[in-house]
Amino acid sequence: MLNNTDKVAIKELSNINKNRECWKENIDYVAEKLNNNDSVEVKAKALWILGEMGLKHPKEIEKHVGDIAGYMDDDNAKLRERSTNAIGRIGRADNHLVTPHLDKLMKMRFDESENVRHAFVWACENIASTAPELFCEKLEIFFEMISDPGQKVRIEAPEMFRVIGKRKPEHVKPYLEKLEWIGENDDNPTVRIHSEGAVRITKNALKKMKC
């Protein structure tokens, strides 16, 4: 149950989130919530907003990236999830801001929480959309995650091959036969669809390279 203080804080953060034109001047205020004695719910909301703010205003978020990344070590799974998400969004805008925290991000694939592992894949996709070179040698990690015990993770993992396949198809090429098999045989229809999509996009990109 949220207390009145939490309700007020979350409502205020929600209002800031809706007013994107004022994001830049509110970044420091939202970031203060990470260092206050606020509840998990308030900090989780702040982390989500900071990720979106960082996507739009990476220069202004830079001084807060360390605090945001620090929550990947938190005892609370929700905060680890939101921190991971935020690093992905910020890294999509400017990968250099999150490169110092990339090793920590990569460890999130081992998290006990399915939501955190899902956030890990999603964050990596975000960063890879503008900096695929950071993950070209790490694709085996994402292939293994197609067999993750969590359905959300399994569904998301093939999407990493779609992202990399569109930009660096030569690195996905060694996985095409395996992805084709998953696309035809996996028991989860969404895993099949995402695997098929990764194969199709990668093959199209390879054809364009030959032209």
Write down the domain spans for the chain.
1-132, 135-211
User: How confident is the model at residue 17, as a pLDDT?
Assistant: 96
- Mean pLDDT of all residues in the chain? 97
Q: Please report which confidence band the pLDDT of residue 4 belongs to, taking 50, 70 and 90 as the band edges.
A: confident
Question: What integer is the mean pLDDT of 10-28?
Answer: 96
pLDDT score of 182 more than 90: yes
User: How confident is the model at residue 147, as a pLDDT?
Assistant: 98
Q: Please report which confidence band the pLDDT of residue 22 belongs to, taking 50, 70 and 90 as the band edges.
A: very high
Question: What integer is the mean pLDDT of 56-79?
Answer: 98
User: How confident is the model at residue 211, as a pLDDT?
Assistant: 67
Q: What is the largest CA-CA distance in the chain?
A: 63
- Integer Cα distance of 164 and 150 in angstroms: 22
Contacts of residue 114, Cβ cutoff 8 Å, sequence gap at least 6: 148, 149, 150, 152, 153
Give me the percent of the chain exceeding a pLDDT of 90: 94
- Integer Cα distance of 184 and 197 in angstroms: 12
CATH of 1-132, one of 1.10.940.10, 1.10.599.10, 3.50.30.40, 1.25.10.10: 1.25.10.10
> For the segment 24-34, what is each residue's pLDDT rounded down to a tens digit?
999 999 999 99
pLDDT score of 197 more than 70: yes
Question: What integer is the mean pLDDT of 188-198?
Answer: 98
Burial of 180 (0-12, 13-18, 19+ CB in 10 A): middle
For 135-211, CATH gives: 1.25.10
> For the segment 130-173, what is each residue's pLDDT rounded down to a tens digit?
999 999 999 999 999 999 999 999 999 999 999 999 999 999 99
User: How confident is the model at residue 3, as a pLDDT?
Assistant: 86
